[in-house]
Amino acid sequence: MRTKFVFYLFLLLFPLALSSQCTMANYLAAVRIPLASYPYVATSAPTLTVSAATFGGVPTLANSSYSCGPDFYAGASPAWWLNGATQTITITFSSPVTSLTYLINGTNATEVFYIVSNSTCAISLSNFCTVGFTSVGGTLTAGPTAGLGSIITVSNPGGATVYSMTHNGLGAGSRVTLLDCFVKGTGSCVLPIELSDFKANCNGKNAVELNWKTGSEKGNDYFTIERSRDAESWQAIGIVDGAGNSNSIHKYSFMDEKPLRGIVYYRLKQTDFNKFNVNSDIISVNNCSETNTDDVIIYPNPSFQQFTVSGNDIESLQLFDIFGTELLNRKILAPDDLKINTANYPKGVYFLKIENKNYKIVKGD
C-alpha cells in the first residue's frame, strides 16, 4: 500500500507525458494542462498547439481530488467550473485531432455534458471511471450511481480542429481539466445512415407520398422532410423519428397532404444524436396538386423575428396591424422579398395581404 501511495504522489508532483490516447490504464500519467498554460504545446502529439476559450462567463475554481474508480485524481488548479447552461469551453487545435480527454471533478447525478466538434463526423465518448455514466453520441449523462469524478475520452474518426463542451446547468457544476493525451489525424466518417430508395409519388389528386429506407443506422435521431420550389430555398414540412442504432432494414414514409402545384423538390435532412445534419439527394415530383388552389404558406407562425412566405406567382404583399395600419407594401422581385423581418415590431397579431386574401400571423416575444 505504501508503494502505491508513493507512486501516486510521484505522478501528482511529476506527471508524465503520454504519446497515445488516454485510457483507464494510463490516465494517471497524463499532464493536467494548467489554465495559465494556454496556448499550450502538447507533449503527447509533437507540433500540436492547443488553445482554449470560454464563453458565457465560465468561472474557475480551486480543484480537489475526487474518486475516479479506485483512484483519487485531481485536475488543474484552478480548473474551469462548468455550472451554467449558457457556458461553453472551446478547445482549438493547430491540426485535426481524433482523440482528446477531459477530466471532470465534483460531478452530481443531475449533470449532463454536451460535446460537439467542427467536423461533420459523429463523435463518441468512452473511458468513464465508474458505472452510472451513460453516453449517446457526444452527450454524457451522470446517473444516480455515477461517481464524483471521471475522465471522458472523445473519439472522432474524421478528426476536428475545434471541440466545445457545454452543460445542462443542473447540479453544483463540475471542474473541467483537459489532459495532454491527444491523437492527431484525419480519417473517414462513419456515416450515420445507409439511405436507399428515396422516392416521391403522387397519391391521389392532392398528396405526395415520400418513401425511403435505410440499410443501417448509427445514432440516427430523426429525419426532417424539406420541400422547395427551386431546389435552393427549403421549407421544413415534417419530422419522422429515426431508429437510433440498427443494422437491419427500416422503411419510412411521409405524406405531404398540401403539396404545391407544378414541379416540387424534396430532400431529407438526417439529424443524429450529436445534432449533426446530413442532407440527402434531392428528388422531385410534378403536378400532384390539382385542386389545392391556396398554395401560400407562411412559416414559422408564430415567429419571433422573421416570417417567410412560400407560394406560386406572388407579385406583391402588404402587412397590416390589428388596427388596419399598413406597415409594409412590397413588390416581389427576388426570393429575399418573401422574407418579412418583424424584429422591430411589438408582439401581437398582424395580417398579411397577398392577392386580395388575408393571412393571420403572430409575432411572439
Query: How confident is residue 31, by pLDDT bands cut at 50, 70 and 90?
Result: very high
Among 213, 164, 211, 220, CA closest to 191:
220
Pairing of strands 174-184, 124-126: unpaired
Q: What are the residues whose beta carbons fall under 8 Å from the beta carbon of 75, sequence distance 6 or more?
A: 32, 63, 103, 105, 175, 176, 177
The distance from CA 1 to its chain's CA centroid, rounded to whole angstroms, is 46
Q: What one-character DSSP code corresponds to residue 20?
A: S
In the block, residue with C-alpha cell 449532463: 112
Query: How confident is residue 19, by pLDDT bands cut at 50, 70 and 90?
Result: low
CA distances from 40 to 49, 291, 347 (A): 6, 66, 48
String of DSSP letters for 103-145: EEES--TT-EEEEEESSSS--EEE--SSTTEEEETTEEEE-TT
- Which tens digit of pLDDT belongs to each residue from 203-261? 877 889 999 999 888 888 899 999 888 888 788 888 999 998 888 999 999 999 888 87
What is d(CA 200, CA 48) in angstroms, rounded to the nearest whole number?
A: 49
Amino acid in the structure at residue 20: S
In the chain, the percentage of residues whose pLDDT exceeds 70 is 91
pTM value is 0.56
Instruction: Answer whether 201's CB lies under 8 Å from 209's CB.
Output: yes
- Which tens digit of pLDDT belongs to each residue from 153-211? 999 888 999 999 999 988 888 999 999 999 999 887 766 788 888 999 998 778 899 99
- Which tens digit of pLDDT belongs to each residue from 36-68? 999 999 999 889 999 999 999 999 999 878 888
Rounded average pLDDT over 272-279: 76
How many CB atoms neighbour CB 23 within 10 A? Answer: 14
In the chain, the percentage of residues whose pLDDT exceeds 90 is 35
* 308 pLDDT more than 60: yes
Among 277, 39, 55, 61, CA closest to 166:
55
The dihedral region occupied by 293, where left means phi > 0, alpha psi between -120 and 50, and beta the remainder, is alpha
Residues in the chain: 365
